[in-house]
Amino acid sequence: MEWSLSLLLNHPQVLQKAQNEIDKKTGKVRLVDESDMVDLPYLRCIINESFRLYPTVPLLLPHESSQDCIIEGYNIPRGTMLLVNQWAIHHDPKLWTEPERFNPERFKGLEGTRDGFKMMPFGSGRRGCPGEGLAVRMLGSTLGVLIQCFNWEPLSDNTIDMMEGLGVTMPKAEQLVAKCKPRLEMQDVLAQL
């Protein structure tokens, strides 16, 4: 959530486009809910791009090879502990055009699917994260409501610092601090909460 909001604050045109999409889908009489996600493809593109740039867990959980094998010309003996560096995969210029640039449009048409093994923020296969569906739905509906109900601004004219912090889960080095004001057109809905 923090990475997604930070990216949106640094790219106000993307935030505005997401707000327009939500307004067209839900109007201004109710809050976005989980059932709206299928009709908000641009919001899903933003989520996918956020996960690509800042995966929650940059190194997937270790796996052990169950038999001798050769991968990309490398001999992997049985019992070898393998780590997948998904951060490196998600930032590989051989796989992604301008991999360091925030570009939600790169996921247009892939909103609800994976892009092979080049995009796997929750791992893959039978050892993939069982919470993926819940995480995507919760992030989508929560981020959707925050975009729908508030106008967001950074505290200063400077861009939000996107430096990555240390840790198993990739936190921001500096926490996000931003201003939000309720959107006038959503005040009636917010007053009912």
Query: What's the pLDDT tens digit per position in 145-157?
Result: 999 999 999 999 8
Q: What backbone torsions phi and psi does residue 152 show, to the nearest 5 degrees?
A: -110, 140
Token digits for 14?
């993307």
69 is in an annotated binding site: no
Between the CA of residue 109 and those of 11, 80, 177, what are the distances in Å?
A: 21, 38, 33
Per-residue model confidence as pLDDT tens digits over 96-124: 999 999 999 999 987 555 556 788 888 88
**Where do the structural domains in the chain lie, given as residue ranges?**
2-56+87-191
Neighbouring residues of 80: CB distance < 8 A, sequence distance ≥ 6? 64, 65
Q: Write down the mean pLDDT value for the chain.
A: 91
The class (CATH top level) of 2-56+87-191 is: mainly alpha
